Amino acid sequence: MTARDAIAQLRAAGHSAYLVGGGVRDRWLGIPASDEDIATDAVPGRLRELFPGARLVGAHFGVVIVDGVEIATYRSDSAYLDGRRPESVSFVATPEEDSRRRDFTINALYEDPFTGGILDFHGGLDDLRAGVIRAIGDPVERFEEDRLRLLRAVRFASRFGFRIEPRTFAAIRELAPRVSAVAAERVRDELTRMLTEGRARSAFELLNETGLLHEVLPEVEAFRGVEQPPEFHPEGDVWTHVLIMLEGLPESASPALAWGVLLHDVGKPATFSRSDRIRFNGHVEVGVGIARRILNRLKFSNEDADQILALVANHMRFGDVRRMKESTLKRFLRLDRFDEHLALHRLDCLSSHAQLGNYDFMRERFESMPPDEVRPPRLLTGADLIAAGYRPGPEFKRVLDEVEDAQLEGSIADKESALALAKEKFAASSAPPPTSE
């Protein structure tokens, strides 16, 4: 069932129903709508009679989902006590009353899908034409009610290239510190959307201008004014460097790549020093530690956090790729989602000295090297060492890694030479000698 069908059915049953929200806005802007929402005067009990398959997603709020279409009963939200959820909601009879609880004028347009007519109670169409994000009603009150709206305003403004109307902007600046009431997961999701929906640079400039960056990512705000050696970074400070990289992020960028770009130099402010020239000694290690704290705070999944941290931890290694031992290089290529490491390095170069030599070299290796050269089947396992009479212990892994290095270098290629090498390595170490043989 399409949203149109649902509206037809609601109207046939005597109800008022319209398309509303992002779908109407996006269609007007001529961009593909992410989802379609319906608002109606039918209460949830009635919706379940009319649509027996409806799934209740928020009984309290009066929202049901029918075949992926979200249908919400017209409502007004009472006072928000915690700055996130209304204390209670009450159902109302008209779209006009419903519209007052919505966040921005461009999100409160009600479309009749059969006539194309739009009900616009707050000047949303004018704001769409002028490219303006404007809170409905008193902006301070509206952001006080729901602090998530502070971030939504920035997200919509950057996504559409709109400006934020001055009173709305002033309210965001004033209330920015209150964004701390928003659950970490919600903050993370808003930031991820800003990073991955295109125009990430303008989102972060706006976060900075509104004071929200200081609240949600002070570690990134700290990039501002951190000078870099001009011979490597003609573009300027760390903040400028990262903004240029954000600007280059492809729209298809994964959340991990986008966060990796944002955080790759997060260790620089704390490690800045100036002697013969500006240096950031140990910034990668320090940065991994800071990034880990940020990702924990924002409750990232382990999978995302691991990849983001790997991107931060490995981004400086590209400087050495043309001098790397073959085994080290192959181990580097083996990193999960190596294409993201490459993409980050490319943006890193393009936003600074623009030299792509190491990138081209590594991309060529990445694309041309057959998988079984990067990750050949092991010549020797722990079981082989046990069979040869060695007792399992801490030496095992080190010896096996050294044997694998030799294999990756191409200096051994069969099990006999692998075992011979293992014996040499054990002999050179303090491990107990084989118990048999």
Residue placing its CB nearer to ligand ATP in the complex, 102 or 315: 102
Residue 94 Cβ vs ligand ATP, minimum distance, rounded to whole Å: 16
Residue given tokens 């002070």 in the structure block:
218
Judged by beta carbon distances under 5 to 8 A according to partner kind, the member of ligand ATP, Mg ion, none in contact with residue 149 is: ligand ATP
Binding mask 236-275 for ligand ATP (x = CB under 6 A): ----------------------------------------
Question: Cα(276)–Cα(273) distance, rounded to whole angstroms?
Answer: 10
Residue 372 Cβ vs ligand ATP, minimum distance, rounded to whole Å: 44
- Positions in 127-156 near ligand ATP (CB under 6 A): 146, 148-149
> What is the dihedral sign for C-alpha 188, 190, 195, 196?
positive
Residue placing its CB nearer to ligand ATP in the complex, 155 or 341: 155
SS (H, E, C) 104-171: EHHHCEEECCCCCCEEECCCHHHHHHHCEECECCCHHHHHHHCCHHHHHHHHHHHHHCCEECHHHHHH
- Positions in 27-56 near ligand ATP (CB under 6 A): 34-35, 37
Nearest residue to Mg ion, scored by beta-carbon proximity:
22
Residue 107 Cβ vs ligand ATP, minimum distance, rounded to whole Å: 3
Binding mask 71-110 for ligand ATP (x = CB under 6 A): -------------------------------xx---xx--
Residues 6 or more apart whose Cβ sits within 8 Å of residue 425: 398, 399, 402, 403
Token pair recorded at residue 346: 């490319």
Helices (H), 226-276: 238-248, 255-263, 268-271
Beta bridge pairs of residue 163? 132
Judged by beta carbon distances under 5 to 8 A according to partner kind, the member of Mg ion, ligand ATP, none in contact with residue 105 is: none
Residue 78 CA: distances (Å) to CA of 35, 61, 65, 92: 26, 12, 23, 12
Residue 53 Cβ vs ligand ATP, minimum distance, rounded to whole Å: 22
Judged by beta carbon distances under 5 to 8 A according to partner kind, the member of ligand ATP, Mg ion, none in contact with residue 148 is: ligand ATP
Residue 126 Cβ vs ligand ATP, minimum distance, rounded to whole Å: 17
3-state helix, strand, coil in the chain (%, to 5): 55, 10, 35
Residue 24 Cβ vs ligand ATP, minimum distance, rounded to whole Å: 8
Neighbours of 402 (CB within 10 A): 16
- Strands 63-66 and 69-73 turn out to be antiparallel
Which stretch in 10-18, 33-41, 97-105, 339-347 sits in contact with Mg ion by CB under 5 A? 33-41
Decide if residue 22 touches Mg ion (CB under 5 A). Answer: yes
Residue placing its CB nearer to ligand ATP in the complex, 182 or 266: 182
Question: Cα(283)–Cα(253) distance, rounded to whole angstroms?
Answer: 25
- Positions in 140-159 near Mg ion (CB under 5 A): none
Judged by beta carbon distances under 5 to 8 A according to partner kind, the member of ligand ATP, Mg ion, none in contact with residue 304 is: none
Judged by beta carbon distances under 5 to 8 A according to partner kind, the member of ligand ATP, Mg ion, none in contact with residue 434 is: none
Residue 261 Cβ vs ligand ATP, minimum distance, rounded to whole Å: 22
Residue 103 Cβ vs Mg ion, minimum distance, rounded to whole Å: 12
Token pair recorded at residue 230: 């001009």
Nearest alpha carbon to residue 286 among 310, 266, 258, 261: 266
Question: Cα(413)–Cα(4) distance, rounded to whole angstroms?
Answer: 66
Residues in contact with ligand ATP, counted by CB under 6 A, come to a total of 12
Which stretch in 21-29, 133-141, 206-214, 278-286 sits in contact with Mg ion by CB under 5 A? 21-29
DSSP string of 18-63? Answer: EEETHHHHHHHHTS--S--EEEES--HHHHHHH-TT-EEEETTTTE
Residue 41 Cβ vs ligand ATP, minimum distance, rounded to whole Å: 17
Residue placing its CB nearer to Mg ion in the complex, 28 or 366: 28
Binding mask 306-345 for ligand ATP (x = CB under 6 A): ----------------------------------------
36, 24 contact by CB (below 8 A): no
Decide if residue 21 touches ligand ATP (CB under 6 A). Answer: yes
Judged by beta carbon distances under 5 to 8 A according to partner kind, the member of ligand ATP, Mg ion, none in contact with residue 146 is: ligand ATP
Decide if residue 172 touches ligand ATP (CB under 6 A). Answer: no
Question: Cα(334)–Cα(312) distance, rounded to whole angstroms?
Answer: 16
Helices (H), 146-237: 148-160, 166-175, 184-196, 200-210, 212-216, 218-221
Residue given tokens 């976060």 in the structure block:
207
CA angle at 387 for the pair 381 and 392, rounded to the nearest 5°: 65
Site of interaction with ligand ATP (CB under 6 A): 21-22, 34-35, 37, 102-103, 107-108, 146, 148-149
Where do contacts with Mg ion occur on this chain (CB under 5 A)?
22, 35
